[in-house]
Structure 1
Amino acid sequence: MAGARFGGVELGGTKALALISDGATILDQCRLPTTAPDRLLPPLAAWLAARHAEHPLASLGIASFGPLRLDPAAADFGHMLPTPKPGWSDADIRGGLAGWFDGPVALDTDVNGAALAEGQWGAARGCAVHAYLTIGTGLGGGIVVNGAPLHGLLHPELGHVRVSRPAGASFKGICPFHGDCLEGLIAGPALAARTGLPGEALPPDHPVWAEVCDELADLLATLLLTVSAQRILIGGGVGLALGSRMKRLRAAVADRLGGYLPGIDASSLETIIMPPALGDRAGPLGAIALAKRVFTAETFG
């Protein structure tokens, strides 16, 4: 793999990034706002094709917001599934970005990619099972098991898990599908609707943070109980804004667990529930981690 260059695309809800890397080092990049697919995908593909003509790429990784069809046997493989983002339902993500390329291509969610990158270069190194959550415009989650992003019926949709709420809770949530799923309660637009302030701008002493910690704790405890995550990393604008409230969050998770998992308490959770190490590089490096993984699989079996 020495000397190989990899192409990647991080396709986010507000911005998109195409990049060239030789591993953890980003050599070149092109950033565009996320507009309509027919206006965004062609210039990203053209930029990558031009870089490929200058120096051939070993493989290409695409880390996109979802939901995505990831089953290669499905007729709509590589397409965006129904989404509230205008114009993106049924968009051909894989074909639109990689139709020009005849080498190995990997497509996955942006959060699965970021989880993979944190396992390779970041805060989840050495973990057999770990999860990456990003809380910003939406709430997404990726899970990696033994070096592979988790797929099944679809891919993890952790933001749409329903959580327990106190009787008489007044905020109904804003998710167009579920109302008060976790994304509809604590993602940036939900917090803005709930408080009148963007989540990233909420003061540290705002009372809504206590509610956010209690609601998020339900999901984190569920991850510990279901997939036995050894590390759960929380990023994104809202996730990183938790900051000093991580102590309360860990205490709330320990409370949900009720002492059931041996040795797991608020103190030990400090080494399990953490911020990501790669920061804003987790997303783009997630695309590269996907590219490296598919190149290794197809080259070395």
Structure 2
Amino acid sequence: MEYYGSIEAGGTKFVCAVADEDLQIVERISLPTTLPEETLAQVFAFFDAYQLKALGVGSFGPIDVNRQSSTYGYITSTPKLGWKNVDFLGALKKRYDIPIAWTTDVNAAAYGEMHLGAGKNTQSCIYLTVGTGVGGGAVVNGDVLQGFSHPEMGHISVARHPDDTLESTCPYHSHCLEGLAAGPALEKRTGVKGQLLEGTHDVWAIEAFYLAQALMNYTLILSPEKIILGGGVMKQQHLFPKIRESLVKQLGGYVELPDLEEYIVGCDLGDNSGTMGCLLLAKEQESLK
């Protein structure tokens, strides 16, 4: 029997899965992301046990998604030790002579959620993950959004909250969304990991302000039908109403939004968003051959 394969490649762990024709997962494993040679050896050991007909890959980045580029398929300027300028897609193609879909981990998650999760019955959505970092993917008119590169939604500039004096945790930018709103920024402000902070802490007003500001920008530029929020920080359910309230305040009535409880939502697929997106992309890629 032939299977579809999925690789959700994160900076902390690789999640690999195989599924049948109906995209029912047959086996799924999680591997720590170590050095490329060691990690890929474990990936190959897993997939070599199956006859694959296509593979979908959603990778941490930045990655090169431009098919005309000499470094197409590479992980490029990542700070992840050992992974800078690694020909990830090339290594997979050398091992497996099958169609392979290639995008970012968050684009894959957006695709999975739009087709099978919180974005069902839409043709456009944004998926934003807020955890150790902040990353975003978009699906527009049913297709994953990318141009000369892919979206880097976590690194948009945001105006500082008037009560926030935190030095950004991003090594590249002094006032980007990731540097001021990711999990490490929450911990740096409070000394407590975000998932352990009580919901009444004052820091959540600052967090909601930054996330709402970002969602306002995405809304004004892309006008998605749905914005889906995931990641460890967004497991704090009390954040959702705070973000919605702050978004309305910051928009100032300029744009009429859909019902906010339907517009800004959590992910339905949980930790499977990326895996299901990769499997969908693999199936789609196989049909194009």
Q: TM-score range by the shorter chain?
A: over 0.9
Could you tell which deviates more after superposition, 165-174 or 32-41? 165-174
Return the alpha-carbon distance in structure 1 between the equivalents of residues 179 and 118 of structure 2.
28
Distance in 2 of aligned mates of 1:229 and 1:4: 36
2:287: which partner in 1?
296
Contact 1:234 1:240 in 2 (8 A): no
Alpha-carbon distance in 1 for matches of 2:235, 2:60: 19
AA in 1 matched with 2:46: W
- Name the SS for the 2:82 alignment partner: coil
What's the counterpart of residue 15 of structure 2? 17
Distance 1:120 1:166 in 2: 35
The 3-state SS of whatever aligns with 2:253 is coil
Q: CA deviation at 1:4?
A: 5.8
Residues of 2 paired with 1:98 and 1:8: CA distance? 14
The alignment's TM-score, normalised by the length of structure 2, stands at 0.95
Alignment partner, residue 238 of structure 2: 244
Please state whether the residue corresponding to 1:58 is helix, strand or coil: strand
Q: Tell me, in whole angstroms, the C-alpha distance in 2 between the residues paired with 1:160 and 1:289.
A: 27
Matched to 1:245, the amino acid is L
Instruction: Write the letter of the residue equivalent to 2:10.
Output: G
- Aligned amino acid, residue 214 of structure 1: F
CA-to-aligned-CA distance 1:66-86 (integer Å, 9 cap, x gap) = 110011111111111111212
Distance 2:130 2:85 in 1: 24
The 1:217–1:44 alpha-carbon spacing in structure 2 relative to 1, beyond 3 Å, is: same
SS of the equivalent of 2:65 reads coil
Which runs of structure 2 are paired with 1:87-98 in the superposition (5 Å)? 87-98=82-93
**Structure 1 residues 98 and 192: alpha-carbon distance in aligned structure 2, compared to 1, 3 A threshold:** farther
Spell out the pairing of 1:29-44 with structure 2 (5 A cutoff): 29-44=28-43
Trace 1:63-102 onto structure 2 (pairs within 5 A).
Answer: 63-102=58-97
The residue correspondences of 1:53-68 to structure 2 (distance < 5 A) are 57-68=52-63
Aligned partners of 1:63, 1:73: CA distance in 2, in Å?
Answer: 19
* Displacement after TM superposition at 1:284 (Å): 1.4
One-letter amino acid of the counterpart of residue 246, structure 2: A
CA distance in 2, matches of 1:115, 1:235: 10
* Aligned residue in 1 for 2:158: 163
Between the two proteins, what is the percent identity of the paired residues? 40
Q: Secondary structure at the match of 2:5?
A: strand
1:7 alignment partner in structure 2: 5
Contact residue 2 and residue 50 of structure 2 kept, 8 A: no
1:26 aligns with 2:25: yes
Aligned residue for 2:192? 197
Question: Once the two structures are superposed, what CA deviation does each residue of 1:196-253 show, in whole Å capped at 9, x if it has no partner?
Answer: 1112221111111110000111110111111011100000101222x12211210111
Q: How does 1:171-182 map to 2 (within 5 A)?
A: 171-182=166-177
Distance between the aligned counterparts of 1:275 and 1:226, measured in 2?
21
Contact map agreement 1:160 1:183 (CA 8 A) in 2: yes
Cα distance in 1 between the residues matched to 2:93 and 2:58 = 12
SS in 2 for 1:211: helix
Residue equivalent to 2:180: 185
Aligned residues: 288
Q: Quick one: which amino acid aligns to residue 154 of structure 1?
A: S
Aligned position for 1:51: 50
> Which residue is equivalent to 2:262?
271
Where 1:169 maps in the other structure, the secondary structure is coil
Equivalent residues in 2 for 1:140-155 (5 A)? 140-155=135-150
Asked if 1 retains the 8 angstrom alpha-carbon contact of 2:133 and 2:183, the reply is: yes
The farther-off stretch of 34-43 and 271-280 is 34-43
Unaligned 5+ residue runs, structure 2?
none
2:65·2:102 contact (CA, 8 Å) conserved in 1? Answer: yes
Structure 2 SS opposite 1:5: strand
Alignment partner, residue 254 of structure 1: 248
- How much has 1:168 moved relative to structure 2? 6.5
The alignment partner of 2:95 has SS state of coil
Residue 50 of structure 1: SS of its match in structure 2? coil
Q: Is the Cα–Cα contact under 8 Å of residues 63 and 110 in structure 1 kept in the other structure?
A: yes
Alignment partner of 1:121 is 2:116:
yes
